[in-house]
């Protein structure tokens, strides 16, 4: 069995926050793959189903972000799983919006949800880092992550969540590359750089006219000129 954990804060007021993109990810997986209904357990909500050949438990901790580890540890102990069986979906400030990376182990980089899980499990779990971008000033981080995705971000967020759901069976089977490729197929290709336009005031290129062919007499005259 695998445990997929989405990080976020419970309650409708947080539902579309950037900080809740982990919740959104596991919701998308549950909906796309016919998981059972969400039900209360382990200080959060769980849904059970299958991804490919793997039985998977989806978990949304209901403890608020900074206590997420309490819920994750309870589920881990109940099912007698190892930290290596756990994959955590979370927002990532240090990745551009829409970029996703998969990483086994590592630090928490100041993310309170990861910090809490690390304190209970150690670092040996897999992270799915979902880029939300950075506001550019650390003083703006808190209102930024606790703010909703903007209306003009809705299209790429929805495409991203569909891609995560598409690739979830590959991720459960240990194929990170297949998971990431599924996301790439859902997202629009990046804009191609436009070729530089010609300068309007640039002088026209010089036209080289071919030299006319001379007769033998002309060549003789030109030689002794």
Tens of pLDDT, residues 99-136: 999 999 888 878 999 999 999 999 999 999 999 999 99
**What span, in angstroms and rounded, lies between the C-alpha atoms of 167 and 178?**
7
The question of whether 134 is a catalytic residue gets the answer: no
What is the chain's mean pLDDT, rounded? 88
Kindly name the residue from 19, 33, 90, 111 that is annotated as catalytic: 19
For residue 208 the two structure tokens come to 């080289």
Question: What residues are paired with 41 via a beta bridge?
Answer: 44
pLDDT digits (tens, 9 = 90+) for 44-80: 999 999 999 999 999 999 999 999 999 999 999 999 9
Q: How many domains does the chain have?
A: 1
What does the pLDDT read at residue 188?
78
Residue 87 falls inside a structural domain: yes
Indicate whether 150 belongs to any domain.
Answer: yes
Do the domain assignments include residue 203?
no
Query: What distance in Å separates the CA atoms of residue 134 and residue 125, rounded to the nearest whole number?
Result: 25
Long-range contacts from 186-195, C-beta under 8 angstroms, 24+ separation: 186/159, 186/160, 186/162, 187/98, 187/156, 187/159, 187/160, 187/163, 188/156, 188/159
- Cβ of 89: how many Cβ atoms within 10 Å? 27
pLDDT at residue 178 above 90?
yes
Residue 205 to residue 154: CA distance in whole angstroms: 49
Residue 104 within any structural domain of the chain: yes
Q: 223 or 47, which is more confident? A: 47
Question: Rounded to an integer, what distance in angstroms lies between the CA atom of residue 3 and that of residue 16?
Answer: 23
Question: The domain spanning residue 101 has which CATH number?
Answer: 3.40.50.1470
Q: Is residue 26 part of a domain?
A: yes
Between CA 58 and CA 121 the distance in angstroms is 17
Backbone angles phi, psi at 50, to 5 degrees: -130, 145
Q: Is the residue at 191 inside a domain?
A: no
Q: Does residue 201 lie within any of the structural domains?
A: no
Q: How far apart are the first and last CA of the chain?
A: 98
The DSSP output letter for 151 is G
Q: Where are the alpha helices (DSSP H) in the chain?
A: 21-32, 68-78, 112-121, 141-145, 154-172, 176-186, 216-223
Contact predicate 1/54, CB 8 Å: yes
Q: Which residues form the domain of 116?
A: 2-186
């Amino acid at each position: 069995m695998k445990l997929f954990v989405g990080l976020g804060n419970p309650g409708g007021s947080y539902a579309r926050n950037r900080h809740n993109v982990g919740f959104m990810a596991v919701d998308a997986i549950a909906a796309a793959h016919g998981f059972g209904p969400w039900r209360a357990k382990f200080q959060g909500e769980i849904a059970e189903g299958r991804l490919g050949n793997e039985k998977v438990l989806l978990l949304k901790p209901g403890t608020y972000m900074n206590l997420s580890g309490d819920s994750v540890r309870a589920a881990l102990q109940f099912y007698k799983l190892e930290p290596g069986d756990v994959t955590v979906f979370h927002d990532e400030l240090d990745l551009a919006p829409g970029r996703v990376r998969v990483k086994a182990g590592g630090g928490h980089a100041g993310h309170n949800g990861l910090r809490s899980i690390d304190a209970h499990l150690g670092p040996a779990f897999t992270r799915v880092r979902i880029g939300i971008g950075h506001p550019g000033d650390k003083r703006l981080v808190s209102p930024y992550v606790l703010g909703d995705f903007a209306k003009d971000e809705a299209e790429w967020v929805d495409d991203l969540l569909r891609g995560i759901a598409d690739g979830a069976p590959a991720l459960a089977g240990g194929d990170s590359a297949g998971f990431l490729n599924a996301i790439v197929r859902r997202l629009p290709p990046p804009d191609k750089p436009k070729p530089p336009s010609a300068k309007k005031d640039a002088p026209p290129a010089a036209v080289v006219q071919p030299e006319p062919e001379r007769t033998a007499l002309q060549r003789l005259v030109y030689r002794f000129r």
